[in-house]
Amino acid sequence: MKQEMYAPAGTPVANARAGKSKIGYLIKDIVRDKWLYLMLLPGIFYFIIFKYIPMYGVTMAFQDYKPYLGFFESPWVGFKHFERFFSEPQFGMLFRNTVILAMYNLLFFFPLPIVLSLMMNELRHAKFKNFVQTLVYIPHFVSWVVVVGIFYILFTTENGILNEILYQITGQKIAFLLEAEWFRTMIISQSIWKEVGWGTVIFLAALAGVDLQQYEAARIDGAGRWRQLWHITLPAIRSTIIILFILRLGNFMDSGFEHIYLMLTPTNREVGDVFDTYVYTIGMTQAQYSYSAAVGIFKSVIGLILVLGANWLAKKFGEEGIY
């Protein structure tokens, strides 16, 4: 149908195109899509001005950047900062901790908003649905300081509410907040508590796009709830899930600094110290802008590889992917 719109087969336009060179096609297409290109312009300008012009700041990672010298006079040091970073004794530990936490996040956190929005999608009472939606997205607005504070009140061994209950039942307390083996569980559950509801918003929007007639047709065919979910609902939001998954991989190495930092103690540092907290520690005594930038580039390169890889895979399986 689209083909018809732009160049109906057998018309003079299409015939004329057949004889033209590649550049001719290109010009032809651009002229045809002039409105689309025009619409792109503000966005392209935006990205050039606000994202690509400042991009020279990346060079900081290859300099000994000093604010008073600026980008043009700070001395160049090549890969010095990267060499230091890779040869740090903690590098292995930081890398492992960051990756494990990221995997946990993808495995346990990422699917939950989808599940939750599917559950909400099954609600028949609009009022109740609205009520649940409004409440679950509230924790997103509570800052990490407050969330961690509330977890402290609940989980500490000194009169923490949950530990008191645990003590009544088992006669023992568990130092959830101190023991290294509980660290990741705590981090992930806090993330879930704070962000799962917020994560549903985008899926609910995707679900709103599902054509209700399809459900009716399916019901007439005798499809039950599960089959409707499997054959109509999930396919409808599949591409959104894939896009979000791929984009999430871009931030794979970001662990959420403030959150981790608030939960980090000497007793769990061996599993809790990640690149983000490391950069903070480094930056605290000295403004090691260049070194921090080098770590940032390392994280981004990994993110880029993951995104491109995942996108390639998605396309291989016939999905649209990001581009």
Partner 1 sequence: MKKYSATLLSILLLSSLLAACGRLSDNDKLASTDGPVNLSIGASLVGELPPKNNAVEQAIEAYTNTNLQIQWIPLSAYDEKLRLMIASGELPKLVKLGYSPSFISTLKAGQFWELGPLLKEYPHLAAINKRYYENISVNGKIYGIPIMRSLGRATIQYRKDWFQVLDLKMPVTLEDWYQVTRALTLEDPDGNGKDDTYGMVLEKRYNQDVSSLLTRISVSQGGPNKWQVENGQFTPEFMTEPFYETLKLFRRLYQENLINMDFPIIDTIETVKLYDSGRAGIQISGGNAQTWQDKLSKYDPDGVVDAAPLTGPGGFRVPEEPGNAGFLAISKDSVSTIEEVRKILDFLDKLLEPSMQTVISKGVENRHWAEKGEFTEVLDRTLDFKEVKPYRDMLPYLGEEEALLKPSLQPDLYRKNQQIVKSYNNYLISNPALTLDSVIYSDRGKELETIITDAETRFIMGQIDEAGWKAELQKWKQAGGEDMIREYEQSYSKLNK
Partner 2 sequence: MVQDKTIGNRIFDTVNYTLLLLIALLCVMPFIYVLAVSFTSPAEVAKGGLILWPKEWSLASYRYIFSTNTLVRSMLVSIYITVLGTLINLIFTSLMAYPLAKTHLRGRQTILLAVLFTMLFGGGMIPTYFVVKALHLTNTLWSLMIPGAISAFNLIVLKNFFQQIPDGLEDSARIDGCNEVGVLFRIVLPLSLPAMATFGLFYAVGHWNQFFNAILYINDNTKWPIQVLLREVVILASSSIGDSTIDSTEIQPLTIRMAVIVFATIPILLVYPFLQKHFAKGVMLGSVKG
Residues forming the site for partner 1 (CB under 8 A): 42, 66-70, 89, 149, 152, 156-158, 175, 177-178, 263, 265-267, 269, 281-282, 284-289
43 binds partner 2 (CB under 8 A): yes
Contacts of 122 (CB under 8 A, 6+ apart): 225
What is the rounded distance in angstroms from the CA atom of residue 36 to the CA atom of residue 146? 46
Q: Which stretch binds partner 2 (CB under 8 A): 96-104, 118-126, 165-173, 268-276?
A: 118-126
122 binds partner 2 (CB under 8 A): yes
Q: Which long-range contacts (CB under 8 A, 24 or more apart) does 113-116 make?
A: 113/195, 113/196, 113/197, 113/198, 113/199, 113/200, 113/202, 113/203, 114/203, 114/237, 114/241, 116/196, 116/197, 116/199, 116/200
Among partner 1, partner 2, none, what does residue 281 contact (CB within 5–8 Å per kind)? partner 1
54 binds partner 2 (CB under 8 A): yes
Nearest approach, Cβ of 284 to partner 1 (angstroms)?
A: 5
Nearest approach, Cβ of 89 to partner 2 (angstroms)?
A: 26
Nearest approach, Cβ of 286 to partner 1 (angstroms)?
A: 4
304 binds partner 2 (CB under 8 A): yes
Listing DSSP states for 273-310 in one string gives --HHHHHHHHHHHS--HHHHHHHHHHHHHHHHHHHHHH
Interface residue with partner 2, options 93, 166, 188, 202 (CB under 8 A) = 202
Nearest approach, Cβ of 247 to partner 2 (angstroms)?
A: 6
